[in-house]
Amino acid sequence: MHDKRVLVTGGAGFIGSNLANDLAADNDVIAVDNEFLGTPDNLDLGVEYIKRDVLDDDLPTDADVVYHLAALSSRQMLEENPRQGARVNVEGFVNVVEQAIEDGCDTFIYASTSSAYGSRAEPTPENVPLEASTGYDASMLGRERYAEYYNDFYDEVTLAGMRFFSVYQGYGGSEEHKGQYANTVSQFTDKIASGESPVLWGDGTQTRDFTHVFDIVRGLKQAGEAELAGVYNLGTGDPYSFNEMVKLINETLGTDVDPEYEPIPLENYVHDTCADISKINDAVGWEPEINFEDGIRRVCEPYIKK
């Protein structure tokens, strides 16, 4: 993508800032964020930053491509504040799409979630039945339904939803400000590096399809260039258990910190995730470039340098 005007909502957040910084090398990029979870410190100087909320009128949606990543992005946040979650994740989505259409934007890429698949150890394609077992899932599936409506009945714009699988980068990137909402890879590495035991739920055999943010950014860019419509998985198809993750972190850091185990405190806890990425691969040729061992090395690097 070159010489385009691009808007990234949630652009000061973890994934948003990585995307905005990458795109700013060749494009005119505007990042919008309300700083609830994001911080402008994540952004390079080449990105124009505007503090705004996705529920506001008069957003800078006069862009060639809108990447809508703003969301209350965890189960916990939606449980603590269900009405606000629905407003931000669903109404905010519709608000940004409507303004984008009015401003003549024809390509809209948005964040959805893989957690609506529930617990699945096999590679999961996009067309399996989904369940809204949390308010967060419900709000993201609401986005997908609205996107379906816009794709079916509006010729002016195409919308593509990206179902992310366990995105991580580590505190050496722009994930640190998320604190308790950061990916477990990043949280566990930070703990182990300082000699603290990470707390694993259950027996640590649960698996996640950990996907490095570098690959997520590549997928988002390719989706924008191809003007995709529909929903697509962005994952690796190669899940690791929490026990395996802790072992890899210890090996990489040269530490020997045992985890603690606690009973799983949630009902309908997702035990396993695994992406089938053949749809996005068929559409734009995307596949992940960073395997988990390499990803762990990147997460651990800042601690080793210290």
- What angle do the packed helices 292-305 and 184-193 form, to 10 degrees? 40
Domains of the chain: 5-167+213-234 (3.40.50.720), 168-208+238-274+290-305 (3.90.25.10)
Output the six-digit token pair for 164.
């992310």
Question: DSSP letter string over 264-288?
Answer: --STT---B--B--HHHHHHH----
Spatial distance between the Cα atoms of 264 and 60, rounded to a whole number of angstroms:
43
Q: Which of 236, 215, 272, 220 is nearest to 112 (CA)?
A: 220
The model's pLDDT over 37-67, given as tens digits with 9 standing for 90+, comes to 899 999 999 999 999 999 999 999 999 999 9
Are the CB atoms for 209 and 274 separated by under 8 Å? yes
Is the whole-model pTM more than 0.75? yes
Q: Could you tell me whether strands 65-68 and 107-113 are parallel, antiparallel, or unpaired per DSSP bridges?
A: parallel
Output the six-digit token pair for 291.
């395997």
Q: Which among 117, 136, 168, 303 is annotated as catalytic?
A: 136
Are the CB atoms for 281 and 219 separated by under 8 Å? no
DSSP character at residue 88: I
The model's pLDDT over 204-232, given as tens digits with 9 standing for 90+, comes to 999 999 999 999 999 999 999 999 999 99
- Residue 49 a catalytic site member: no
Number of H helices, E strands in the chain: 10, 13
- Output the tens digit of pLDDT for each of the chain's 306 residues: 789 999 999 999 999 999 999 999 999 999 999 999 899 999 999 999 999 999 999 999 999 999 999 998 787 877 888 999 999 999 999 999 999 999 999 999 999 999 999 999 999 999 999 999 899 999 999 999 999 999 999 999 999 999 999 999 999 888 887 777 789 999 999 999 999 999 999 999 999 999 999 999 999 999 999 999 999 999 999 999 999 999 999 999 999 999 999 999 888 889 999 999 999 999 999 999 999 999 999 999 999 976
